[in-house]
Amino acid sequence: MATMEQPEQHPSSAAWVQWAILAVATTILAIAAGGRFLVGLVFDEMQQHFHMTHGGLGSVVSISVLMVGLGQPLVGWLVDRFSARVVAAGGLLLLGTGLIVVSQAGSGLGLVLGYGVLTGLGLATLTPTVMTPVVAAWFERRRTTALSIISAANPMGQSLVVPALALLVAATGWQDGYFLLGLLVAAVGAPLIFVLLREQRRIAPDLLRRGPALREAVDAGLPVLAVCGGYQLFGHRYVDHDGSVIPGIGVFDAETRHPGPVADRCIGDIVVETPFGEVVGFENHGGRTYLAPGQEPLGTVRLGRGNNAEDRTEGARRHNAIGTYLHGSVLPKNPALADALILAALRRRYGPSVELPPLDDAPERRAHEAALRTALARARRPA
């Protein structure tokens, strides 16, 4: 069987990545906290520039605060749907763009758009609600230390960032200061957070250390369900759009490549024809996975994108190990798949003669059929 070339694996520690992420997240939250006070430093200058009363300029500030508050539920939904990395990077772009718009605006309308709307929505994404779970996920040891550091971002922003911004504005003028800060946030902060917070990097070093044992266990019949990022790292490698490589453990003869930030994500309902019957779920991934010749997929896509939106394959199988892009409570929605994994685990532990006694799984079957009908009905709706 033709196989993909396996990358050299270096199970090095990810400690520097942990602390880099903590430093970047804390700095971003501190800048966001301090940035809320920036308008107060130049209130009189902005009032003169835009020919506004105190009440008028205060109303613009109120709009920004309102956008922060109204944006919170939307931010939570976006994090659940896309990831904290995407939302935080997008928020930094909004914040930076808003500051630049304010610096170039010549009317009150530009101020409302730049500071009231764009800056407000950007600040809504840069909160502990978004950043704290990301930092906590990277730290198993010293988690309390890490969380205490990121909790200090708000007072740090007020005590350190505000004076620094005051010096910047004093040296450059408020318009150039806003422009430079916006450029720094959008051009440096957004790409940095987008690169650092990639979820696969968090588990890759530990997974590499366990790779030989996992491959041996899979060959001995260990049941595995690897979903999305886990599935990608059970292949040989994940190649990001910038060419950087995150090595995988090679359980599946596959490689994942990210086509770039302008490419569409594979998002939506998905139905796959598999040896376990039709499997239904929800996919949400940017990477495209390509199986080597001879690598068995989990199944054939009936609805959705699957591995790469090209060859109609979805997932991969090796013995009792299954890799898939199906999120959306894939086991509760697909009782036949869940039963197969449970039976494989029991037979590996107690011998091949084990059989599962029949159960009344009518509710599970109805749930599966309902999920399938819903997915197919959505696909038939006009765009």
228 is catalytic: yes
Determine phi and psi for 33, rounding to 5 degrees: -65, -45
Specify whether the CB–CB gap between 200 and 238 falls below 8 A: yes
Candidate list 49, 241, 319, 327, residue with the active-site label: 327
49 is catalytic: no
Specify whether the CB–CB gap between 289 and 301 falls below 8 A: no
Specify whether the CB–CB gap between 339 and 280 falls below 8 A: no
Candidate list 10, 228, 236, 241, residue with the active-site label: 228
With 0-12 / 13-18 / 19 or more C-beta atoms within 10 angstroms meaning exposed / middle / buried, residue 174 is buried
The DSSP code sequence of 305-327 is -TTTSSS-EE-EEETTEEEE--B
Specify whether the CB–CB gap between 11 and 208 falls below 8 A: yes
238 contacts: CB under 8 Å, gap ≥ 6: 200, 232, 245, 246, 248, 255, 256, 257, 258, 287
Tokens of 222: 């260990």
Cite the active site residues.
228, 327
